[in-house]
Structure 1
Amino acid sequence: MSTGLLLAGLVVFAGSVVQGGVGFGLNLIAAPILALIDPELVPVPVLLIACAQAGLTVLRERRETHWPGVGWAMAGRLPGNLLGVLALASLPLAGFTIAVGLSVLACVALSLLTWQPAITRSSLVIAGAASGAFGTAASIGGPPMALLYQNSAGPRMRATLGAYFLFSSVSSVLTLTIAGQVTVRHLWAALVLLPFMGLGFLVSSPLRRFLDDGRIRYAVLAVAAGSALLLVARGVFG
């Protein structure tokens, strides 16, 4: 195994530990660093890894999945994807990235003060649309859904986000396959990185128990705030 792939594996391991405990964070942590190690690792291999991790999450805590929430969020995902594409085509990328980051930071700040988001059909569709737009244009699709479920129990949050990420990642992979963007090299890279994801998923079990002891909400807010700060820095410094 080359040094580059080993480093990529360690990055995937770290992202998998975070997502296994909190419910999101794999793409956030892995994608920017993998793009620096080898641009061909993004987006296809990391999406395939994300599919596998999301599937394992749903299996591990399948009884806790809020399936109606997944369905309504996916209903908002497609128009959100289109909004993201339009944003990329018509707005300066740096400015849009900063706006997304500041929006997430504002939601985190409101959550720490008074905001208690209610999980309704409307809020799920809006969160799904925001997730699709932010994920398509700025590679940060997790926070809108995670912030909506921040007051849910840890197992409910992880299982529901896992199911949502599974469907959205599979749809992205299928789209890329139809567009001819998936190659044997991508599949091989994902296969090499898969054991690192699996190990991170196993290691996340103790973290999961620690966070479920009244800490999951603050972990979600911390990861969301960290992702937003990274976006703002990316927009400012390029």
Structure 2
Amino acid sequence: MNSVTALVLANLAVALGATVQTATGLGFAMVAAPLLALISLQLVPGPMLLINLILSLLMLGTERSSINRSELSILFPTIAAGTLIAAAILTSISTELFGVVFALLILISVVASLFTKPISLSSANLAAGGFLAGLMGTISGLSGPPMAVLYQHEDLQKTRPTLAVVFSFSYASSLIALTVTGQFDAELALDGLKLLPGLLLGYLLATKYRGLVSQTTGRVMMLSIAAFGSFILLLKWL
């Protein structure tokens, strides 16, 4: 990513995603992923996973007291399983097919977030959500949608710290898997670090004005941007 224009646009996309996720606990990848992919497929999933990991760690540092460890004990191993399978899949698909799969995953995520009824946080549902988070997170950088389906009707103040831990683990696992399979290296890591200004801008804005962004407003913003961006991306690669 050598173009100044591309770098500025990518940082704006990251700032928007970071604002939504810091305010609501979810949404960075669904907002930023399709926009970053339109700028350059090189920015997903690796560089975006790196910047999202940093954001999750920032969020974790402010709200540790409400972490639900019993849920984490189910989510962690299933996320790891999904991550391993996704890494194997990525080694066997072309760039063109990746672009199509990437866009379709986002659109499916939007539909699921809109029409899925509230579900209980049972062990089976947590395990399924964790597996899908690992699978989708490694392929597209989107660990959030399965977690959104699980937690979208739970209390925001209680779930945000747990989600920060889940995302930190998921993104770290995905980056390790991508590195081992040769799909993430120092050059891509540098591309991710170039997005730090946008990340910090979005994080600081949301931290300062968090009370002005309701969960409903953040959700509408997240799904609208995700649907539009992924639709344009799908047209680009079909």
TM range (shorter): 0.7 to 0.9
**Structure 1 residue 109 and structure 2 residue 115: aligned?**
yes
Distance 1:138 1:5 in 2: 20
Paired residues, number: 230
Answer yes or no: is the 8 Å Cα contact 2:87–2:181 preserved in 1. Answer: no
Q: Give the whole-Å Cα distance in 1 for the aligned partners of 2:151 and 2:59.
A: 16
Which residue in 2 is equivalent to 1:192? 194
Deviations 1:104-134 (A, max 9, x none): 5255324xxxx33211222111111222333
Q: 1:119 to 1:158 in 2, by over 3 A?
A: same
CA contact (8 A) 1:21 1:204 kept: yes
- The normalised TM-score by structure 1 is 0.77
After superposition, the C-alpha distances for 1:80-113 in whole angstroms (9 at most, x for unaligned) are 34565688779x8758965874575255324xxx
Of the structure 1 ranges 30-39 and 143-152, higher mean CA displacement relative to structure 2 is found in: 30-39
Match of residue 78 from structure 1: 80
* 2:145 corresponding residue in structure 1: 143
Shift of 1:179: 3.0
Residue 153, structure 1, aligned to residue 159, structure 2:
no
Name the counterpart of 2:215. Answer: 216
SS of the counterpart of 1:62? coil
Residue in structure 2 matched with residue 165 of structure 1 by the alignment: 167
Q: How far apart are the structure 2 equivalents of 1:80 and 1:219?
A: 28
Identity percentage over the alignment? 30
Gaps of 5+ in 2: none
Q: For residue 201 of structure 1, what is the amino acid of its counterpart? A: Y
> Aligned ranges for residues 14-163 of structure 1 at < 5 Å?
14-81=16-83, 84=86, 98=104, 101-102=107-108, 105-106=111-112, 108-110=114-116, 115-137=117-139, 139-163=141-165
Gap runs ≥5 in structure 1: none
CA distance in 1 between partners of 2:24 and 2:48 (Å): 18
| TM-score normalised per structure 2 | 0.77
Q: CA contact under 8 A between 2:80 and 2:170: conserved in structure 1?
A: no
Give the SS at the match of 2:207: helix
TM-align CA RMSD: 3.3
Q: Distance in 1 between matches of 2:89 and 2:161?
A: 30
Q: State the 1:55 CA deviation.
A: 0.3
Distance in 2 (CA, whole Å) between partners of 1:107 and 1:199 is 27
